[in-house]
Amino acid sequence: MNHPEEKKDPTLFQSSLPLVFLILFLYLNVRFFGTDTLSGANQMALLLAASIAGLVAFHTGIRWKEMEASIVRSISSAMPAILILFLIGALAGTWMISGVVPMLIYYGLEILNPRIFLFAAIFISALVSLATGSSWSTIATIGIALMGIGRTLHIHDGLVAGAIISGAYFGDKMSPLSDTTNLAPAMAGTDIFTHIRYMVITTWPSITLAMVAFLIIGFTLHYPASHTDVADVMAALKDTFYISPVLLVVPVVLIYIIVKKVPPVPALLTGVLLGVLFALIFQPQVIRQVAATGGSYAKIAWIASMKAMFGPVDIPTNSPIVTHLLATRGMAGMLNTIWLILSAMIFGGVMESGNFLIRISKSILSFVRNTTSLVTSTVVTCIFFNITASDQYISIVVPGRMFAKTYREKGYKPELLSRTLEDAGTVTSVLIPWNTGGATQSTVLGVPTLTYLPFAFFNLISPFMSIFIAAINYKIRRFDPSETKSGKKKEIPARN
């Protein structure tokens, strides 16, 4: 096959064509596959759209070797997320057989009133995520237990997942331990504490509205679960597991080492191994059930531990509800999600190699006229990269680099950019089914992205709050226009 001799800059039509086909393919998947799109249909849609992007890129003079190199770079950027996904699968399995998750569900049912459960779910998730700086770890640990409580109370899965995700992403966004909270100011050119203080202006109204919404919903919902149903679930948990506060040692240790800034992979691996250890010490009867074989306890323990980490585990109980709650899929349960992420990274890599993403972003920049349009353009660009590049880090890094000079030239302090990057980039990644955020959390919680999307109030409100604050010109920080670009800039007081 002959290659074009010269590279040509792609037109807006050429750059947008793969996206149009991707949207069409995804629409057909939802129409024909319903809720089962993650089992392969969406992966194929991304790969077919990547093929179309490759043909367009070839037409503009991009050689296959360049596309391949871009794909490899894109997949490499997702490898940390894939490693974390595998460990989250193993963590879910070992924390289940160790009794940690059943213990959290048991005490949660004992303490939480159904009417304040959604409010409590967003508050607890926010608190843990703020302490750890990780929405993913929060959702994979406390989030799973809260989902179990919500299902026992027969509260809609989307509502429960929306509350957990809202709280977890608030904490992630505001914690100085969070990687995205450090990344955004680095891209914009400010320091992390200035960035966090400035985020309060948009983030606190967003989380307050979300918490009020969940509080109102909690008091207006009908709860079909009776006191007897809850008591039956608690009894089944206690009959199957050794339930004791001593099991809290496992999540407390994990939270502690995350707070101490241990990287996610070794931190989660520690959590997995602690789960195995506590299962062997406190849940020997569960170990025997999971192993489903005879022989020495050493053999049984090895088989059960391996099963919990790598594959599906069903723990039989005298309650069908509890048996369903306790089912885990281990690392194997993450394979469809990893396939989706790899497919999304291939699509993003081809789009990047053809300079299609930059071309579309430049078109968005042409609409910038004032503060509102600049912030709106940044928000749209971040969401655009979450949809196309399928990674929240890219949705912060690329727009951050693109807009930094524009914000400076127009006289805005860098914290306005860094705040907008987080308001739009960090929190919306979990709303895209094929983004690493959306694919991971839907798998971990067992709730399709489109099911929880309408109820992830904090994540939905944040981008609009960022635009609203810019539109009313509230505390928009500017440099003194009399200062030169190269000289030291003097900040103009924020306008209320």
Domain boundaries, the chain: 79-333
Q: Residue 492 and residue 482: Cα distance in Å, rounded?
A: 11
Residues 115-130, mean pLDDT to the nearest whole number: 93
Question: Residue 223 pLDDT > 50, yes or no?
Answer: yes
Rounded average pLDDT over 327-354: 88
Angle of CA points 381, 384, 388, to nearest 5°: 140
Q: What is the pLDDT of residues 39-76, one digit of tens each?
A: 888 889 989 999 999 999 999 999 999 999 999 998 99
CA distance 85 to 140: 10
Q: Which residues pair with 491 in a beta bridge?
A: 479
pLDDT at 3 over 70: no
- Residue 34's pLDDT band (boundaries 50, 70, 90)? confident
pLDDT of residue 7: 82
What band does 120 get if pLDDT is binned at 50, 70 and 90?
Answer: very high
Per-residue model confidence (pLDDT) at position 493:
47
Average pLDDT in the 202-215 region? Answer: 97
Cα 227 from Cα 229, distance rounded (Å): 5
Please say if the pLDDT value at position 433 is more than 70. Answer: yes
C-alpha pair distances (Å), 37 with each of 59, 147, 148, 337: 31, 22, 24, 11
pLDDT value for 492: 47
Tell me the pLDDT band of 141, cut-offs 50, 70 and 90: confident
Residue 495's pLDDT band (boundaries 50, 70, 90)? very low
Residue 482 clears pLDDT 80, i.e. is over it: no
pLDDT confidence bin for 227, thresholds 50/70/90: low
Q: Which residue has the higher pLDDT, 30 or 204?
A: 204
Q: Which segment, 133-137, 166-170, 189-193, 323-327, is predicted with the most confidence on average?
A: 166-170
Instruction: Give the pLDDT band of residue 273 (cuts 50, 70, 90).
Output: very high
Say yes or no to pLDDT of 325 above 90.
Answer: no
More confident residue, 174 or 133: 174
pLDDT of 269 higher than 90 = yes
Cα–Cα distance for residue pair 281/97, rounded to 1 Å: 11
Strand partners, 495: 476
pLDDT for position 489: 55
What percentage of the chain has pLDDT greater than the value 90? 52
**Whole-number pLDDT of residue 192:** 86
How far apart, in whole angstroms, are the C-alpha atoms of residue 464 and residue 202? 9
Average pLDDT, the chain: 88
Confidence band for 226, pLDDT divided at 50, 70 and 90 = low
Dihedral angle at the C-alpha atoms of 85, 87, 91, 92, nearest 10 degrees?
Answer: 30
Q: What's the rounded Cα separation, in Å, for the pair 128 and 477?
A: 31
- Mean pLDDT within 251-267: 87
What pLDDT, on the 0 to 100 scale, is given for residue 388? 83
Q: How far is CA 314 from CA 96, 206, 229, 418, in A?
A: 10, 39, 21, 45
> pLDDT band at residue 77, thresholds of 50, 70 and 90?
confident
| Positive or negative torsion for Cα 383, 389, 395, 398 | negative
- At position 38, the amino acid (one-letter code) is L
